[in-house]
């Protein structure tokens, strides 16, 4: 199984910062990587797919990138509404695997 190592587990950021969350795959996944935001009691919402493509309706302050087998989600000048838990998902091979999640708090 492909392991997705996500970091950090939590972070607190100000509205002026650039927030970066990373997921490192245990092997190559050919950019079959998506990012999700989940708020309490809600379903995950797709932010980024195919590592770098912005999902419909997602603000442009969200972006995705890759360096080797490490994938990153960047939030530029986050808003208070961006608080929540963020997950990565590899869909390169079954079983699909999620990262453990990053809890983002905006201060």
Taking residues 37 to 66 in sequence order and writing x for each that binds another protein by CB under 8 A, - otherwise, the string is -x----xxxx--x-----x-----------
CA 28 to chain centre: 17
- Which residue in 101, 104, 98 sits closest to 81, CA to CA? 104
Q: How far is the CB of 25 from another protein (least distance, A)?
A: 15
Between 15 and 100, name the residue whose CB sits nearer to another protein: 100
CA quadruple 36, 42, 43, 47: dihedral sign: negative
Contact residues for another protein, defined by CB under 8 A: 34, 38, 43-46, 49, 55, 87, 89, 91, 94-101
């Amino acid at each position: 199984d492909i392991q997705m190592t996500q970091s950090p587990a939590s972070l607190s950021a100000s509205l002026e910062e650039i927030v970066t969350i990373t997921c490192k795959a245990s092997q190559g996944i050919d950019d079959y990587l998506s990012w999700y935001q989940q708020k309490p009691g809600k379903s995950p919402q797709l932010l980024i797919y195919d590592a770098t493509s912005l999902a419909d309706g997602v603000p442009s302050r969200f972006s995705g990138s890759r360096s080797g087998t490490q994938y990153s989600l960047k939030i530029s000048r986050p808003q208070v509404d961006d608080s929540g838990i963020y997950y990565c998902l590899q869909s390169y091979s079954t079983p699909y695997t999620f990262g453990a999640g990053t809890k983002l708090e905006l201060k």
